[in-house]
Structure 1
Amino acid sequence: MGKIIEDKSLKDKYYIFEDRFDAGRKLAEFLLANNLKGNLVLAIPNGGVAIGFEVARKLGLELKVAIVRKATFPWTTEAGFGAVSWTGETLLNELAIKNLSREEIALSVLKARKSVEERVRLFKDYVPVGKLEGSVILVDDGLATGYTMLVAVESVKKLGAREIIAAIPTSSLDAA
């Protein structure tokens, strides 16, 4: 694990950002102020794209997308117990799945994989598949459990990035 660099003045604050574009501009300013630089911005759709757009624009970097999907519990489309990525990585929260059947887990992971495959086809020109050079800034709009970011980090490592900067404007305490 790396280190967390945060703006402590924003802790426990509400309504900090007007929208995701504003969050991206403020995140870019934070990255610049802390001398955090990269060669590429990778945004996690959906919410991370607007943020990644502003970060890439302000830092003068290329923007691509990191296609990941959370594996959700059978009774909801929001709460997840893990995630899968465009490079085939899968991460599961073992504690969260202990009361699920193998079939429930497999079905949710399969749905997530199919969604990833569909999005890769849709965004094929913007998904990194070859070796990543240097430092990558990986952006999302926030972290709830952190599994989508973690699986994206694993994929970026797999593609050879020297350094990964996970940049998010907001997070739950558990995910941070």
Structure 2
Amino acid sequence: MPLDRTASFRNRREAGRALATELAPLAASRPVVLALPRGGVPIAFEVAKALHADMDLLFVRKIGLPGHEEYGFGAVVDGIDPQVVLDESTVQKFGIDAQTIRGIVKRQLSEIERQRRLYVENRQLAPVTDRVVIVVDDGIATGGTMQAALRAVRKNRPARLVLAVPVAPSDILAMLASECDQIVCLLQPHPFYAVGAYYRNFSQVEDTDVIRLVAQIHAAREPGQHLPDPKLPGAENHNEQEEQP
């Protein structure tokens, strides 16, 4: 899709459908779609539904600057060997010591564990080795979280690793190009403001939304079942009028 500096999506559901159209050629490979919770889940739901693909969650948390947690200088991905990626230039610039980083990582791993228990309980996550894997989020700003996510997936030796997002800055995509085999991004605005600036409805995705969407996608993989349209904040608009063409 050509670069558009002014376009925006009505909501995550519309963005997911648009992304699914671009990813349609991968359907024949029977990919697995991995969503970064929480915002990436409604996007991934639409992609998995359109591609008739498996969907699961990729648990990753931003490592935020102390006192300014919204400013990420790294990320951690859960696993037997948790993957931690840091922006060393930021660490040095702000003088963040190793003990502080360990404390932040520990807190974020605790949140990941909470999410894992809540979202998937004791279910085993979908295997990715030797499969085409599509990693999905609702957008990328600094790229640290996605970089950690891609590196963690790569360690499990997928056959092909695809990054798919509705919106991201072009320089960050260039930085991430070496971390995956293919990038699909619908909008690359310049200047880039924030992910939410390119959604007319960017309401928070709640834990209950994630649980319901994950349950729906897995129930639909049972023989004879079909996916209903989700009635969730972030997955579609809050009123029916906004959903009209």
TM category (shorter chain) comes to 0.7 to 0.9
The residue that corresponds to 1:4 in the other structure is none
Inter-partner Cα distance in structure 2 for 1:12 and 1:75: 32
Q: Distance in 2 between matches of 1:97 and 1:127?
A: 35
**Alpha-carbon deviations, 1:51-86, whole Å to 9, x = none?**
000000011111101010000111123111100112
Q: Answer whether contact 2:32 2:128 (CA < 8 A) is retained.
A: no
Give unmatched runs, 5+ long, in structure 1.
Answer: 1-6
Match of 1:13 among 6, 18, 27: 6
CA deviation after TM superposition for structure 1 residue 36, in Å = 3.5
1:130 Cα offset (Å): 4.6
Residue in 2 that maps onto 1:132: 129
The answer (yes or no) to whether the contact 1:84–1:91 under 8 Å persists in 2 is: yes
Q: Partner of 1:169: helix, strand, or coil?
A: strand
Q: How far apart are 1:115 and its partner, in Å? A: 1.3
Moved more, 161-170 or 35-44: 35-44
Query: Within 5 A, what are the aligned runs for 1:151-166?
Result: 151-166=148-163
Q: Aligned partners of 2:171, 2:103: CA distance in 1, in Å?
A: 26
- CA distance in 1: counterparts of 2:86 and 2:125, whole angstroms: 23
Q: Supply the AA of the counterpart residue of 1:41.
A: V
1: CA distance, partners of 2:120 / 2:15: 26
Q: Which has the higher contact order (CA 8 A, sep 6+)?
A: 2
Cα distance in 2, alignment partners of residues 131 and 42 from structure 1: 9
The aligned counterpart of 1:25 is 17
Structure 1 SS opposite 2:90: coil
Report the Cα offset of residue 113 of structure 1.
1.6
State the TM-score, normalizing by the size of structure 2.
0.63
Q: Check conservation: 1:41, 1:62, Cα contact below 8 A.
A: yes
With normalisation by structure 1, the TM-score equals 0.85
Residue 13 of structure 1 aligns to which amino acid in structure 2?
T
Query: 2:38 and 2:128 mapped to 1: Cα distance?
Result: 24
Change (3 A) 1:129 1:92: farther
Of 91, 99, 114 in structure 2, the residue corresponding to residue 97 of structure 1 is: 91
Distance 1:68 1:56 in 2: 20
- In structure 2, how many angstroms separate the alpha carbons of the residues matched to 1:25 and 1:169? 10
Give the match for residue 82 of structure 1: 74
State the shift of 1:30 in Å: 1.3
Identical positions, percent: 34
* Cα distance in 1 for residues equivalent to 2:124 and 2:59: 7
- Highest CA radius of gyration, 1 or 2? 2
Residue of 35, 38, 43 corresponding to 2:35: 43
Q: Which runs of 5+ in 2 are unaligned?
A: 174-245
SS for the counterpart of 1:63 is strand
Cα distance between partner residues in 2 of 1:127 and 1:42: 14
User: Over aligned residue pairs, what C-alpha RMSD do you find?
Assistant: 1.9
Count residues with an aligned counterpart. 166
Q: SS at 2:66's partner residue? A: coil
Shift in alpha-carbon separation, 1:117–1:146, aligned structure 2, 3 A = same
| Contact 1:42–1:139, Cα closer than 8 Å, also in 2 | yes
Residues 78-122 of structure 1: CA distance to partner in whole angstroms, max 9, x if unpaired? 111100112211111101111223333222222212212222222
Q: State the Cα distance separating 1:131 from its structure 2 match.
A: 5.1
Cα shift at 1:27: 0.3
